[in-house]
Structure 1
């Protein structure tokens, strides 16, 4: 099913991109050495050759350009050459673990369950070969954007396959763009309490760049309930060089809030509609200032959680089911009235 295979597919797409960028970084280093305007310009040809040989093995020259360090045995070309091995699934798991070990930002993020997939090694090798045809030109300014478009393309098509269930990890681009354009999150703290694959954050960063801002002037905070979807978000942000705080772990936003003291300037969210939740576990929580939401429907739990996270002048944009604005069931009308009066 799409639900089972989106993670390994996106994991391999991620691996292909970081491998292409890593391998191209050697050319970037050589170009700096011959460019008189570069801080790394070396006039003497023999000395230049010697230094470039050292620099291409120095991870600081990769980290300076936000390029992940990829161990030799984990590079896509090396793995592709082993695509017909009956042990390819375990080889991939080992390669992903090695990349995580070398890059703290990626620890606990990459897909490492190829060995558990219920498909034969030949199919995994075929998938490696198909994704291997993708080319990411790291020398072009837009290479990160191209990867982002590919990543989003896969997310969108997996979402179409999964139908309604896809809402847990994917919000349509048009919805995200509308929220971002309305809120205009140019700087400050941005939070999504049910962030899925991180689309709200990606478009917020794009908004900042389009309007002349700099990457990093907004601070990203997110939380996701499932481990696999949290990994999608972390990969989505890491590949774009976006710093983020996704909390210590995945978890239920209501019962295991990863950012208890956060006060955000902007909150963008598309929470699950009309979901049941464990109201008894947090019945006395200070977030329910306008009334304890009913256990059968978390819509007003989400809204009150979001309101509780806003800074003094904070703004929020939230996607909710149509009926949530008129429902009077289980005290929801009373909660809504209290929220409006307090505004």
Structure 2
């Protein structure tokens, strides 16, 4: 217990907060301060780690001030208030991370110059992790190193001190931080180019997956979770459709191969108040599955496309439909997803377009998966959704059970596959980047829900009909006729060719002959 202190006037009112836009501007300047002095791969850890520490400290102070005010109004003595303010149960019970005194931002800012900012920050990160089990091994302890410019780091701390993550009547502190965190993930992904795609999936793609799957309850799994965007969007989906006060009935499981990205994901879930199981450490899902016994109700993933150097074990039990080729892991990811599905689970996997019509070994695996009636839907997505790659992509929807499933009263779709061609959708949101619009997301999701006969489709009085140029429900025989190639363009009818009427011409000479020929061969 630290020495008792007198109650300050600051404890009598909550901290004022910056707008998300102001915080974003402040912190992007902070990132610029590190440019050239820190390896670009460490940008995210430095800046997002400091943002997180500042947030937990501000949230702690906000709750502390609120608690002090309530106790004073109840007539509690000053000495007793001081004791209560240092009772960790008062914070953890309100889902606030406990922040030891020497890890609080006010302490760091006051002592940075005299005690060394890098040393204080590393000690603060260690202290917060030590006091909060959910953050063990998550926060970066990288500030007190020879290659870190301590002068610039001190300037960065001063800049971040100007950002207040305290909440207000319109927006809780958690929402302010989540918006800032998302802003930085997007911008770091853009700044890092191709490498940025390893940890960030465009929001419209994530939203499409979540809107289609409707993960209201059950086990949600992402085998290549990146920074955790799928889980965050699933939580937002529940909040949007069930209300902020609804307690999400989902259990989150994930795995990530990159150590730094795994830490970002853990911080991202903590920021959003999501208690997820991302395993005890990072690791390669295809070679070291850290959730071996998991059976998920929803699998959602944007795994790396067309991996050509993956470590293949031909005896792996997951390759039930065929051993994936050494030079491409796409069908390893698809079969891994199937292996993780509960009996009535559904998976949504983003892959390169080559996966739906590739030849040889992959064609045989695709045939086996179709014959096993695993493919529920194929969606052709528009180009340029991924700023980090120009590879065209598609969405695979897999399920083990296309029956009505009893009480769910779904439409019987056994032996059928839905094909949706959305390649012409979306609008440009930058010079090289496209995003699906709200109308696009609604149309694609509603089409799938109507085809499957979900509860949401019944509530909205939706019924499925093939739509020329957009969607088609194919039976198994039709897919066989196409040699198990699953490109939606092969199935979606673009309508009959328009018959060109011949012009009116005189009934004599070459023109009359041409009209006669039109009549015969038209």
Question: TM-score, length-normalised on structure 1?
Answer: 0.92
Q: For residue 305 of structure 2, what is the aligned residue in structure 1?
A: 273
| 3-state SS of 1:115 partner | coil
User: Given the alignment of the two structures, is residue 226 of structure 1 paired with residue 255 of structure 2, yes or no?
Assistant: no
Shift of 1:17: 0.5
Instruction: Tell me the distance in 2 between the aligned counterparts of 1:79 and 1:105.
Output: 23
Instruction: Tell me the distance in 2 between the aligned counterparts of 1:30 and 1:82.
Output: 25
Is the contact made by 1:205 and 1:215 (CA closer than 8 Å) also made in structure 2? no
Instruction: Tell me the distance in 2 between the aligned counterparts of 1:72 and 1:227.
Output: 29
Q: How many residues align?
A: 332
Q: For residue 144 of structure 1, what is the aligned residue in structure 2?
A: 174
Are the structure 2 counterparts of residues 292 and 224 from structure 1 closer, same or farther at C-alpha, using a change threshold of 3 Å? same
Shift of 1:48: 5.2
Is the contact made by 1:186 and 1:208 (CA closer than 8 Å) also made in structure 2? yes
Q: For residue 26 of structure 1, what is the aligned residue in structure 2?
A: 64
Q: For residue 195 of structure 2, what is the aligned residue in structure 1?
A: 165
Q: For residue 81 of structure 1, what is the aligned residue in structure 2?
A: 110
Instruction: Tell me the distance in 2 between the aligned counterparts of 1:30 and 1:73.
Output: 20
Unaligned runs of 5+ in 2: 1-38, 374-522
Is the contact made by 2:109 and 2:157 (CA closer than 8 Å) also made in structure 1? yes
Are the structure 2 counterparts of residues 49 and 115 from structure 1 closer, same or farther at C-alpha, using a change threshold of 3 Å? closer
User: Given the alignment of the two structures, is residue 288 of structure 1 paired with residue 326 of structure 2, yes or no?
Assistant: no
Is the contact made by 2:223 and 2:301 (CA closer than 8 Å) also made in structure 1? yes
Question: TM-score, length-normalised on structure 2?
Answer: 0.61
Higher relative contact order by CA 8 Å / sep ≥ 6: 1 or 2?
A: 1
1:180-233 deviation per Cα after TM superposition (whole angstroms, max 9, x unaligned): 111111110000000000000001011111221633410000000111111100
Instruction: Tell me the distance in 1 between the aligned counterparts of 2:189 and 2:92.
Output: 33
Shift of 1:86: 8.0
Instruction: Tell me the distance in 2 between the aligned counterparts of 1:30 and 1:120.
Output: 39
Bigger-Rg structure (1/2): 2
Instruction: Tell me the distance in 2 between the aligned counterparts of 1:147 and 1:187.
Output: 26
Shift of 1:130: 1.8
Q: For residue 39 of structure 1, what is the aligned residue in structure 2?
A: none
User: Given the alignment of the two structures, is residue 53 of structure 1 paired with residue 50 of structure 2, yes or no?
Assistant: no
User: Given the alignment of the two structures, is residue 209 of structure 1 paired with residue 254 of structure 2, yes or no?
Assistant: no
Q: For residue 505 of structure 2, what is the aligned residue in structure 1?
A: none
Structure ranking higher in strand proportion: 2
User: Given the alignment of the two structures, is residue 308 of structure 1 paired with residue 339 of structure 2, yes or no?
Assistant: yes
Is the contact made by 1:2 and 1:161 (CA closer than 8 Å) also made in structure 2? no
| 3-state SS of 1:275 partner | coil
Shift of 1:235: 0.4
Q: For residue 120 of structure 2, what is the aligned residue in structure 1?
A: 91
Q: For residue 7 of structure 1, what is the aligned residue in structure 2?
A: 45
1:214-255 deviation per Cα after TM superposition (whole angstroms, max 9, x unaligned): 334100000001111111000000122211111122111011
Shift of 1:318: 1.2
Is the contact made by 1:83 and 1:129 (CA closer than 8 Å) also made in structure 2? no
| 3-state SS of 2:274 partner | coil
| 3-state SS of 1:219 partner | strand
Q: Where in structure 1 do 4 or more consecutive aligned residues deviate above 4 Å? A: none
Q: For residue 411 of structure 2, what is the aligned residue in structure 1?
A: none
Instruction: Tell me the distance in 2 between the aligned counterparts of 1:90 and 1:199.
Output: 32
**Aligned-residue CA RMSD (Å):** 1.8
Please say which of residues 164-173 and 140-149 is displaced more in the overlay: 140-149
Shift of 1:270: 0.4
Q: For residue 493 of structure 2, what is the aligned residue in structure 1?
A: none
Shift of 1:65: 1.1
Is the contact made by 2:238 and 2:248 (CA closer than 8 Å) also made in structure 1? no
Shift of 1:67: 0.7
1:199 pairs, out of 229, 236, 240, with 229
